[in-house]
Amino acid sequence: MPDLVKLSLHDDIAVITIDNPPVNALGPGVPEGIAEAIKAAGANEKIRAIVMIGAGQTFIAGADIREFGKIVSGTRPRLDLSPYLRVIEDARKPVVVAIHGTALGGGLETAMSAHYRVIAPGAQVGQPEVKLGLIPGAGGTQRLPRLAGVLKAVEMCAVGESIKAEEAVSLGIADRLIEGDLLAGAVAFAREFAGHSAPKTRERNEKLQATNPVIFAAARDQARKRGRGMIAPLAAIDAVEAATQLPFDEGCAREAELFNKCLFSTQSKALIHAFFGERTVAKIPGIPKTIKPLEIRRAAIVGAGTMGGGIAMTYANAGIPVIVKETNKEALDRGISTVHNNYATSVAKGRLSQQSMDERLSRITPQLSYDGFDQADIIVEAVFESMAVKKQVFSELDKIARPDCILASNTSSLDIDEIASATSRPDMVIGNHFFSPANVMRLLEVVRGRETSSEVIATSMALGKKLGKIAVLAGNCRGFIGNRMVAPYLREAQFLVEEGASVEQVNQALYDFGMAMGPLAMDDLTGLDVSYAIRREFERLEKPGVRKPLVPDLLCEQRRFGQKTGRGWSKYDANRQPSPDPETAELIERSARQAGIARRKIASDEIVDRCIYALVNEGARILEEGIALRSIDIDITYLYGYGFPAWRGGPMFYADTVGVHRVLARIEELEKEHGPDLWAPAALLQNLVARDRSFASFDEGKEGS
């Protein structure tokens, strides 16, 4: 067992160093090591005070999240850090914690159990447990309000965002900002307070006095809006409230009760799945670690439309100069003014300084020619979703761009290999599918073609991280991972309104399930004309005689494209607020009648089953074909690109929580009702059920999982 906690002496000051790479998590052996070191320093008469610091990049980034699964499965005893924190708090000599990098979750709780905290500029502290479906479980909801006040403690525990060092000092969480050598500064600080009686955070009750209960009611309202469906934020508020109503130890007991309720919840499993998923998707089996990503210093974009403009902002925001080319001045001006307005809105909302806006705009060069494209390290094509147009553009770029320049297409569905065939360098061609609005949505679907080189794939994945995106690698097929699955999801939603459900009922059912918005509302947002164009591109591949939704094409023929034209499945006012559209309802009813479709009352359960299981079934096929590397890649795609609720873990994780055998049974029922062309179960799903396995166990068999 490596020495996870080291004790060294700096004359009369003991220094305890936590060394558990990569983030000094409080894994097995760390709390025990800290307690032992405190006791050893306490027993050494020469020692007058103690400093605790983290080795490497950060102080303690929390409890070891990998342990939670073992606790829930019963292979590890329940987590109880409070005895170790008591050893720190009750130490006979002052304990000073020195924070650099991060002090998160159990890391901040450890720091707050010490008598003093000093912090380096740029460090961050926080209680992010709610993002894992948990609450602080080691006294954080009891000690934080005693240091930072109740209002701030509620916000930090219920929202989970970290705060910067300067704010931590102004709030009283930290006692001093240490510029320069943190350890030297901490040792000097400890020497200053050596021999003084050390304040115990648990006894500092002054900031709990006269707490206005309205704080908690307001926080609960906000939590219900922001964390719709989540239990942890409400539990965190309950725990902080307990700090204002109960003595410290009883408050900690209440916290532990709420913590364990969250820990053993499916929501926490789902959010921990998502936490590790975000990191797993970056690991691409078969790409040797020796492959170094190419450097991307300059970029260029073809197309200044909604996507082109958003992609330009993404590059500029990441500090990469970018050229944006359009075919005519009117389109270019329209595109750049949208970019300008987006930045101005952020400045107006105080999310961006005017100076940053100016800097970012200065990195964007709008133009009507390919000048400078021969200097770019990557060129992203973001033109109209037509194969002919894209091939034309790629053949032009092939003649202009440097041989080592990556040619990326922002296509959301079209064949990357066919696009690459318009060039002499298919190994340098890749899909970089951004999601609208590209400067906001965090997902980047990286699509490998048959000949895309490992270097180009590695570069795109690394570039995704640099652009602040979650990059997921997908194979080349119609719609890749995300849009291929969304097609049957939308199909079912459109069938359900033909069969009798209202547009509002379908949207509400999936919204209540936790989706950011209903499927038809999403269709109206992305634009019915976009999916119309894609349907036309793939019409030739459609199997004749298979039932197809009747209404979307009719709406398009009446130029009802959704939000962008104020009418689609729903009507939209000037603020894009939806309302039922009686004309659409009438059109649906008439089309169904003409097609002889019986209309009936439909329960919300059926709506959810058909839409979500359509996702799962197609997801299983995508895994069979290797279009997605692991089921976690599908889940992360849906969490960050399609508004699937993180507390349900993603479509494949959700299927595992329901039980793949139950999912298969329901799909077989739907197959009987609607036929195999629409609902034949995926072979992988049948295979997992036959072998009593799950999508999670499917991933375990995969490298990099």
Annotated catalytic residues are 109, 129
How does strand 116-119 pair with strand 176-177? parallel
Residue 20 CA to residue 4 CA, distance in Å, equals 5
To the nearest whole angstrom, how small is the minimum distance from the Cβ of residue 95 to ligand T1G? 19
Closest distance between ligand T1G and the C-beta of residue 148, in Å?
A: 16
Q: How far is the CB of 268 from ligand T1G (least distance, A)?
A: 10
| CA nearest to 413, candidates 304, 547, 506, 526 | 526
Of residues 124 and 409, the one with the C-beta less far from ligand T1G: 124
22 binds ligand T1G (CB under 6 A): yes
Q: Which listed residue (33, 54, 106, 475) binds ligand T1G by CB under 6 A?
A: 106
102 binds ligand T1G (CB under 6 A): yes
Report the residue from 64, 89, 377, 529 that binds ligand T1G according to the rule CB under 6 A. 64
- Residue 438 contacts by C-beta under 8 Å, 6 or more apart in sequence? 307, 309, 310, 311, 313, 314
Local structure of 263: helix, strand or coil: helix
Asked if 157 touches ligand T1G (CB under 6 A), the answer is no
The CA distance from 406 to 408, in Å, is: 6
Q: Is the dihedral of CA 222, 225, 230, 231 positive or negative?
A: positive
Contact 489/462 with Cβ under 8 angstroms? no
Number of residues lying near ligand T1G (CB under 6 A):
25
Position among 33, 136, 645, 651 found at the interface with ligand T1G (CB under 6 A): 136
Residue 466 beta carbon to ligand T1G: minimum distance, rounded to whole angstroms: 12
Q: Which residue has the tokens 């074909």?
A: 625
Token reading at 569: 């499945």
104 interacts with ligand T1G by CB under 6 A: yes
CB of 282 to ligand T1G, least distance (A): 7
List strands edge to edge, sheet with 116-119: 5-10, 13-18, 49-54, 95-99, 116-119, 176-177
**Considering only 3-11, 127-135, 439-447, 638-646, which stretch makes contact with ligand T1G by CB under 6 A?**
127-135
Name the minimum Å distance from CB 27 to ligand T1G.
7
Is residue 70 a contact residue for ligand T1G (CB under 6 A)? no
Please count the CA atoms within 13 angstroms of the CA of 661 that sit on its side-chain side: 5
Asked whether position 255 contacts ligand T1G by CB under 6 A, the answer is no
138 near ligand T1G, judged by CB under 6 A: yes
Among 31, 33, 128, 310, binds ligand T1G (CB under 6 A): 128
Can residue 501 be called a binding residue for ligand T1G (CB under 6 A)? no
| Rg of the chain (C-alpha set) | 28
Q: How far is CA 42 from the centre of its chain?
A: 44
Q: Is 663 in the site for ligand T1G (CB under 6 A)?
A: no
Nearer to ligand T1G, 464 or 681 (CB): 464
Please list every residue from 271 through 310 that binds ligand T1G, using CB under 6 A: 276, 279
* Shortest CB 131 distance to ligand T1G, Å: 6
| Stretch of residues binding ligand T1G (CB under 6 A), selected from 33-41, 124-132, 361-369, 439-447 | 124-132
Q: Which of residues 42-61 bind ligand T1G (CB under 6 A)?
A: 61
Cβ closest to ligand T1G, residue 91 vs residue 239: 239
| Site for ligand T1G contains 481 (CB under 6 A) | no
Identify whether the C-beta of residue 623 lies closer than 8 Å to the C-beta of residue 634.
yes
Concatenating the DSSP letter of every residue in 510-553 gives HHHHT-SS-HHHHHHHH-HHHHHHHHHHHGGGSPTT----SHHH
Q: Is 132 in the site for ligand T1G (CB under 6 A)?
A: yes
- Please report how the helices 140-148 and 232-245 are oriented relative to each other, as an axis angle in degrees rounded to 10: 60
Please say whether the beta carbons of 150 and 211 come within 8 A. Answer: yes
Taking residue 441's Cβ as centre, other Cβ atoms within 10 Å add up to 18
Residue in 34, 38, 51, 63 binding ligand T1G, rule: CB under 6 A: 63
Which residues lie near ligand T1G (CB under 6 A)? 22-23, 25, 61-66, 81, 102, 104-106, 109, 128-129, 132, 134, 136-138, 140, 276, 279
